[in-house]
Amino acid sequence: MEQRITHACGHEQTHYLTGFASQHDRKARWLTTTKCRSCFITEKKTAQADAASRDNAAIAHLDLPSLTGSERQVAWATSVRASRLAALVDEPDAGDTDAFHTCLTITDAKWWIDYRDLANTDLLATAGSCIRPASIAAEMAAPSCLHQAA
Ligand SMILES: [Zn+2]
């Protein structure tokens, strides 16, 4: 059944309600307490943009190398890196300064995407595991996740 619902934001939207009549009423009542779809999307986008600009401000003082990967990976990893580094900057107790600096040198977009959901300490530990003592590094190929300067 299609029903016009006036949402909490004041906009009308047509909803297709399924199930029994009693469920329609409950669903319709609940829908009136929510925002319409376009307000919901706008709000979400605004929140994301706010978060992104907060992240970028938090890491503005860091001199970050360009990421490498496909265009899509780089775009995604850039925002992942910004939010993860902003969180680390915010949490000085996350500890390991060396690992944090290693994080700054990681240019592999895929690394940031693969590890985007790790807790801060795990992210640092993973970054830290890319650190090789100079003597060993000479014998091994440089870890692919590290910027050449490392
Ligand atoms: Zn609306």
Q: Provide CB contacts within 8 A for 124, sequence distance 6+.
A: 88, 94, 95, 96, 99, 100, 103
Residue 34 Cα to ligand 1 midpoint, Å, equals 9
Distance CA 145, CA 150 (A): 10
> Which tokens is 73 given?
């990976």
**Separation of CA 20 and ligand 1 centre (Å):** 27
Cα 37 to ligand 1 centre (Å): 7
Distance in angstroms (rounded) separating the CA atoms of residues 75 and 72: 5
* Helix H or strand E segment including 146: none
Q: Residue-wise pLDDT tens for the chain (150 aa)?
A: 899 999 999 999 999 998 888 888 899 999 999 999 999 999 999 999 999 999 999 999 998 999 999 999 999 999 999 999 998 887 766 556 788 888 899 999 999 999 999 998 889 888 877 654 443 444 444 455 555 444
CA of 8 to the centre of ligand 1 (A): 7
